[in-house]
Amino acid sequence: MIGYIRFADNLSAWFGKAFAWLIVLMAVGTGYEVFVRYVLNNPTAWALDVSFIMYGTLFMMGGAYTLSRGGHVRGDFLYRLWQPKTQAKVDLVLYIFFFFPGVIALVLSGWKYASRSWGYSEVSINSPAGIPIFQFKTVMVAAGLLLFIQGIAQIMRCIHAIRTNEWIKADEDVMETEDILIQKAHEAETGGHV
């Protein structure tokens, strides 16, 4: 069980980090559009669509990574007061009755939309450049499959927490700047001893 959880976490992290590079492409594309529009007075017909596609792809493909790290929004004013065992029982019910039906619907409807879109090489109706969007519709299926894989890992986390009253945490791979600064200040005060 722990092996599968680590596998799913690593898979989600790899995809999340790989697609995070779209931020750089979006910044370059937006910068280019601003330059040609306001300096050269020659706006592009494609920049807005491409930025929407990249942002949507980034958002969708980062979902499983965010789930693995417990980063999705949660109304936890009561939840955080419960024991891990109680949290896990509630999470397990929510995953089974809400998460998985939603993810399965995403995969199935995404497959339907993507296959139709690939069938006629769909392009954006919002752009005179005719930007292809059939590949973007395929992202719905890929993101749904990643969420499904990660969801199984989350179910296993719940089962483990119900048994042991402890959550299996994902490896920390990202820290907030404030946390890094606090950690460095603490190390400086203690001479590197924690």
Give the pLDDT confidence score for residue 154 in this predicted structure. Answer: 95
Looking at residue 84, what is its pLDDT?
Answer: 92
Total domains in the fold of the chain: 1
CA distance between the termini of the chain: 32
pLDDT of the residue at 36: 92
- The model's pLDDT over 134-178, given as tens digits with 9 standing for 90+, comes to 888 899 999 999 999 999 999 999 999 999 999 888 877 777 788
- 56 SS3 class: helix
So what's the pLDDT on residue 46?
83
How many CB atoms lie under 10 A from the CB of residue 110?
20
- Put simply, whether the predicted model's pTM sits higher than 0.95 gets the answer no
123 forms beta bridges with 132
Q: What is the pLDDT of residue 2?
A: 87
Full domain range(s) for residue 57: 2-190
- Cβ contact 61:141 at 8 Å: no
Residue 123, classed as helix, strand or coil, is: strand
pLDDT reported for residue 178? 84
Give me the amino acid identity at 44. T
Rounded to 5°, the CA angle 85-89-91 comes to 110
Question: Which residues of the chain, if any, have pLDDT below 70?
Answer: 192-194
Beta-ladder partners of 132: 123
171: left (phi over 0), alpha (psi -120 to 50) or beta: beta
Q: What is the pLDDT of residue 140?
A: 93
In this structure, are residues 60 and 143 in contact, taking their beta carbons and an 8 Å threshold? yes
Q: pLDDT value at position 187? A: 85
Question: Do 146 and 103 meet the contact criterion of CB atoms below 8 Å apart?
Answer: no
- Are residues 20 and 59 in contact, defined by beta-carbon separation less than 8 angstroms? no
CB 8 within 8 A of CB 149: yes
**DSSP class per residue in 150-184:** HHHHHHHHHHHHHHHS---PPPP----HHHHHHHH
